Amino acid sequence: MSNISLLSKSKSFNGEVRRYSHKSNSLSCDMKFHVYVPPKSSTPSSVLWFLSGLTCTDENFIQKSGAIQFASQNNIFLVCPDTSPRGIIIENPEDKWQGPGFGAGYYLDATTDKYKTHFNMFTYISKELFDLINQEFKDTINVNKHSIFGHSMGGLGAISLFIKTNGQYKSVSAFSPISNPTECDWSLHSFKQYLGSENKDSWLQYDPCHLLKNYDGKPFDLMVDQGSADEFLNDLKFDNLQLSCKENSKINLIARLQDGYNHGYFYISTFIKDHIEYHSKYLNN
């Protein structure tokens, strides 16, 4: 018996965009996610995860990025999760788009009493949904070939998940990631609410700059795009990311400053082909 329920499906580039729902144990709520199933091929599809940014749901990327065309061409199965638990009651919620709260899960596992029951996005993405995708689509995908990328908060999540899961993903890239959240006022506020205001070590375990600087595993490439006209450029700490990678010889940073581009989906759609083809090199070889 399937553990997921099909909500919708649409043909696109000879494959299918599908939306599913399921009961999440790690988040203690019902969740939705999108996938793109590429056209049938003689070889199983590789899997590419996209983690979205603040305020987004599972719908933004699949609808706006233009990724489907290139996923179809490269036999890539896309997975687009939501960015936080949904349909729950948060006591005394904060009305801030930067979080904490809905659309602002930061891909971490919360430890404070207020949030620890539901806000466990790291476990949800890296274990629960990962295992669910492998089980439900085992006849379609290569369960040993997963890669990950993301935008903004999702770029933060992609980098931290890639490093912290020890080889679960074959490659990683990011659009304009929140690179140093413990040095950014609005992301640090959410970290304090999720992880405790005094527990600085717990903040660092989800900080890409800290993880990259201290990484001591197998060498890897990291492609990062950043728009020069990004309205959040000072908050994203792109310079800190470059410095952290420069200090670690095991990381080959492919940093691309894109002149005149901002933080939105017109920017993402301009360079999405590069990211899909970048991951395809690692997934399909």
| 156 DSSP assignment | H
Q: Which one is catalytic: 152, 179, 187, 190?
A: 152
Rg of the chain in Å (alpha carbons): 18
- Give the active site residue among 58, 207, 225, 230: 230
User: Has 189 been annotated as catalytic?
Assistant: no
DSSP string, 25-89: TTTTEEEEEEEEEPPP-SSPEEEEEEE--TT--SSHHHHHS-HHHHHHHTTEEEEEE-SS--S--
Q: Which of 34, 263, 275, 279 is catalytic?
A: 263
Q: How far apart, in whole angstroms, are the C-alpha atoms of residue 231 and residue 234?
A: 8
- 113 as an active site residue: the answer is no
N-terminal to C-terminal alpha carbon distance within the chain: 34
Alpha carbon of residue 129 to chain centroid: 13
Whose structure tokens read 């790291």? Answer: 122
Check if the beta carbon of residue 279 is closer than 8 Å to that of residue 76: yes
What whole-number distance in Å separates Cα of residue 194 and Cα of residue 120? 10
Query: Annotated catalytic, 152?
Result: yes
Q: Which residues are catalytic?
A: 152, 230, 263
